Structure 1
Amino acid sequence: MEKETITNETWTEIQGNLFQELLINSPKNEKLNKRFGSCDTLFHYTSLNGFISIIETQSFYCTNVNFLNDSKEFKYGEETILKAVENLKTNENSSILEKIKNNIELQLKSDKYVTCFSKEGDSLSQWRAYGNDGKGISLGFEFSDLTESFDKYLTGSHIEYDEKTQLEIIEEFIRLIIEFYKKIEDKYNWNGQDFNNLVSKVIIKFLNNVIHTYKHPSFIDEKEYRLQLEIDGNLYKKGDFDILFKSSENLIIPYTIIKNSYSAYLETKEPNETEPIFGLKRLPLNKIIIGPNLSFDIVKIGLEQFLTNKGYENVEIIKSEVPYRK
């Protein structure tokens, strides 16, 4: 039987088939379904000024993933891949595994932008790092409604901190991808290209997405969940979004702004136009925790008046229980 020649079209089709197979099988796979989690409320720690900006603009800053606070995060993921490859070194596919090690440096810094949340709304470490040292607030959003409220497609990821689970997932993905390509290897004429090298690059590209959901175990108190916007030339391309820049003490940080359907509408409606009943979703804020270093009673009054002014009702406002004073 004559082998089918690989073209750009067939290669795209192969990649799509691989993605579909992984997407369908992941929830059923005992090792991979550890990646799937759930929660009722996601919390975002911010200053009072940050809160006002979020509610008034109905939007969030989305920071380039390579410029997050954990500066070693990307390198940690890369090192985890290499550990997984080492664990599989007795595998019969040793040539592909060796190619992965050789090509790991070919990973491109990701063009992903993320907004970070926590599944814990009253955490000492979070108050210190992101809640204006206890003088900020923690905003609770309805998990199931949050991603749907935006006018762009965002992916959500639970961050994994357990190293054993991280390695198991990477090893299983490597095994499944190699298995997929081995099944079709003899079907195609690879036009003189190194098959093992091609497969290794596919694995690295795929795992590049996975490792951005991994952090070192020392960050486990964060209980992080991310909303991610990918600007990769597929769904969204460069130029579809304004890339802005801000500075820290030692970095220039690229970011963009993600808006929800409500804020997108406000930008286009006429001054005297009445607000439509259907099709709009404000950010689904349902809870606020006032930081341990703020005066609860007076801050609560201000929050209530502000929320009423912005059309929010039935938002629970409570005091932090963290014994932290500064």
Structure 2
Amino acid sequence: MGNIMYHYCNVDAFKAIIQNKTLWLSSVYNLNDYKEIHWIKEKVLKKIQESTNKNSYEKFHTFLKIYEKKQPNVYIASFSQGEDLLSQWRAYANDGYGVAIGFNSSYFKENNLIKTSKVLYDEKVQEREIKKILTPLFECENKFNFNSSKFENFCEKIIDELNYLSAKSKNELFIEEQEVRVIHNPIIIEDKKTKRFIFKKNISPMMFRAVCGNLIPYFELKFTNFNEENEPILEIVKGPKSKIIDQEIKIFLANNGFYNVKIKSSKSSYR
């Protein structure tokens, strides 16, 4: 993966991201492809159904019950490897009036509560990954009592891998987006005793925003701690319809602690 990943956004979002030094990682259930979270799950179910017989029924039936119960708690921020993509300007940057913020992907590697990954579009590769993850399940016939907590723990580890694969996989029809994701997978536990939810391995408190009649949960990813050797933002690309003056962007960035940032303009003639 290249060193720079681009977050396309309108000018209001750009202003908020820079001033607050914060990205929002939103629930994977609220992405633009509503079937996305089920993309890998459907392939997993098909592979298990094909492998189920009277001898393996108990094992797979128990696994699927755990799989249904352990829904992904996945939160992402989306970027692109492409710095000047017309589809991205149109969809995410106010029809070309916005900007693409060029983030340094190496900066986020220092945070062990998130992962950065290219989106996987190739279905053959997705199938191979599913097969690899499920192999221990297929081969564990004589290792477990399938009603035991030991087997449940074994299944949960496999499901965690499947859920991570789900978070970084997408229908190949979206390949032109060249998407890169920052992925956060906190542990969220319902505590019936205190009548609250407990969060572990989370990067911030869970926040909520209301959008078009929906309530969307998100976590805040801060990028406040950095130095000149590992800065979070490397460049800004102005959209093809951008009205912002380069010097004013430079002043705005510098006043918020981002001095060494390259300013570029889209090469698109799109108007």
After TM superposition, the score normalised by the length of structure 1 is 0.69
1:256 and 2:208 correspond = no
- Unpaired runs of at least 5, structure 1: 1-37, 263-277
1:129 and 2:91 correspond = yes
Distance 1:208 1:304 in 2: 40
1:75 and 2:38 correspond = yes
Residue equivalent to 1:272:
none
Residue equivalent to 1:209:
164
Q: 1:282 to 1:205 in 2, by over 3 A?
A: closer
1:319 and 2:268 correspond = no
Deviations 1:7-36 (A, max 9, x none): xxxxxxxxxxxxxxxxxxxxxxxxxxxxxx
Deviations 1:280-326 (A, max 9, x none): 9885211111001113xx5322211212222323322111122321x
The answer to whether the Cα contact below 8 Å between 1:260 and 1:282 also exists between their aligned partners in 2 is: no
Q: Pick the aligned partner of 2:123 from 163, 171, 190.
A: 163
Q: 1:105 to 1:92 in 2, by over 3 A?
A: closer
What is the DSSP-based 3-state SS (H/G/I as helix, E as strand, rest coil) of the residue aligned with 1:71?
coil
Question: Structure 2 counterpart of 1:114, which letter?
Answer: I
Deviation at 1:144, TM superposition (A): 1.4
Deviation at 1:192, TM superposition (A): 6.1
Residue equivalent to 1:290:
238
Q: 1:290 to 1:280 in 2, by over 3 A?
A: closer
Larger Rg: 1
Q: 1:229 to 1:200 in 2, by over 3 A?
A: closer
Greater share of residues in helix: 1
Question: Structure 2 counterpart of 1:76, which letter?
Answer: W
Deviation at 1:43, TM superposition (A): 0.7
What is the DSSP-based 3-state SS (H/G/I as helix, E as strand, rest coil) of the residue aligned with 1:168?
helix
The answer to whether the Cα contact below 8 Å between 1:78 and 1:104 also exists between their aligned partners in 2 is: no
Residue equivalent to 1:138:
100
1:51 and 2:14 correspond = yes
Distance 2:262 2:228 in 1: 22
Residue equivalent to 1:118:
80
Residue equivalent to 2:71:
109
Q: 1:61 to 1:193 in 2, by over 3 A?
A: closer
Distance 1:282 1:126 in 2: 27
Deviation at 1:81, TM superposition (A): 1.4
Q: Pick the aligned partner of 1:173 from 120, 127, 133.
A: 133
Distance 2:261 2:147 in 1: 63
Distance 2:52 2:221 in 1: 46
- Unpaired runs of at least 5, structure 2: 190-198
Q: 1:193 to 1:310 in 2, by over 3 A?
A: closer
Deviations 1:107-129 (A, max 9, x none): 43322221111111111111112
Deviations 1:215-267 (A, max 9, x none): 11111112111112222159x528873222212224211112121343xxxxx
Q: Pick the aligned partner of 2:251 from 292, 302, 305.
A: 305
Distance 1:157 1:253 in 2: 23
Q: 1:91 to 1:323 in 2, by over 3 A?
A: farther
Deviation at 1:203, TM superposition (A): 3.4
Residue equivalent to 1:218:
173
Distance 1:239 1:167 in 2: 30
Root mean square deviation, CA, Å: 3.4
Runs of 4+ in 1 over 4 A off after TM superposition: 90-94, 194-202, 278-283
What is the DSSP-based 3-state SS (H/G/I as helix, E as strand, rest coil) of the residue aligned with 2:61?
helix
Distance 1:303 1:324 in 2: 22
What is the DSSP-based 3-state SS (H/G/I as helix, E as strand, rest coil) of the residue aligned with 2:270?
coil
Question: Structure 2 counterpart of 1:52, which letter?
Answer: K
The answer to whether the Cα contact below 8 Å between 1:74 and 1:212 also exists between their aligned partners in 2 is: yes
Question: Structure 2 counterpart of 1:229, which letter?
Answer: H
